[in-house]
Amino acid sequence: MSASSAPYAVLGDVETESLTIDVTGNDEIKFNTYCVKMETMQECSTNGTKGTNVLNITGLTTGTNYTFHVYTVWQGVLSENYTSIQTFTSKRSNNIYVIHMFVMHMYLVNILCTSVSLSKEKTYR
């Protein structure tokens, strides 16, 4: 029994703690499932069956670099080659800035910027 070929896989959406991998276009490869491993792990963290178009990777850490190896599996045998995807998750912003602009006079503009944090509010003039 021979292992299947490495799949076509590209990075999809990247969020703060999750991402997707697009695996559309692997219909010509002989395989049963996908296996995604983080570079530092030996076990499959995500499996998808043939016909799956998107693999969802969850439980990631915000603002972290990752390397994923995407394999195909045919009758329990992992493909010898894989597709490598490198990315980083987005950093979560704790601040939301709201800008208020008031026209006080024809030549005078007052700008008020409010920074709203998850813990407190600050106002700058």
Residues pairing with 38 in the sheet: 68
Confidence bin at 122 (pLDDT 50/70/90): very low
- Domain membership of residue 103 as a residue range: 95-124
Q: Which of 69, 14, 64 is nearest to 40 (CA)?
A: 69
Average of per-residue pLDDT across 67-85: 90
Q: Is it the case that residue 120 has pLDDT exceeding 70?
A: no
Q: Is the pLDDT of residue 118 over 70?
A: no
Least confident range from 40-54, 71-85, 103-117: namely: 103-117
Q: Are residues 78 and 112 in the same domain?
A: no
Q: What are the φ and ψ backbone dihedral angles of 65, each rounded to 5 degrees?
A: -80, 140
Residue 53 — pLDDT band, cuts 50, 70, 90? confident
In a domain, 5, yes or no: no
Are the CB atoms for 91 and 62 separated by under 8 Å? yes
**pLDDT above 70 as % of the chain:** 69
Q: Do 25 and 83 fall into the same domain? A: yes
Same domain as 99, residue 83: no
Say what the pLDDT of residue 24 is.
Answer: 85
**In terms of domains, do 64 and 116 share one?**
no
Higher confidence at residue 111 or residue 34? 34
3-state SS, 44-104, equals CCEEEECCCCEEEEECCCCCCEEEEEEEEEECCEECCCCEEEEEECCCCCCEEEEEEEEEE
